[in-house]
Chain A
């Protein structure tokens, strides 16, 4: 059974550019969350989507946006990239949106902004 898949695995962008990261959840999982992990820190919550609706948003600027598609896959978009956006972006899926539903993580997309 395939786990959470993310693409691309690595990405290099220039300041001011825009980037789109993609995530496919585990089959049957309807909730997708996005996390940013800066080197030396734990993952930080960006968004959660459940049944194609945004359910929660972390403390990130409006340059960050996301969406979920009818097949429950998701995209994270970041506009006007800054050097500080360089990080590992993790996608996590779970069957439900409730508390009793642990997260299953992908391997992440390593974004480098130069």
Chain B
């Protein structure tokens, strides 16, 4: 069985300050991990994905995430928040076994203050 826990339902930062969105996962297999972003009334856009090639993954729009197996974590970071980063962020695990279905975290809403 696999699961994803996003540790914060809501994060608020000031524009220009760092962003940290936390994600812990549980998987019986070696997982693939993703971060998706969803702006209001929009579909999901892939930010980045981890598939074991490198533990530090760089994504679009300045986001990156680090896979830490010992901590079962895959936290998303960005050095400097922009107003356009305000959105809902989902951490997602895709198990290598079974149906390869996606398991979504509950989401973190990022608010960026001017």
Q: Do A and B bind each other?
A: no
Which A residues fall within an 8 A CB radius of B? Answer: none
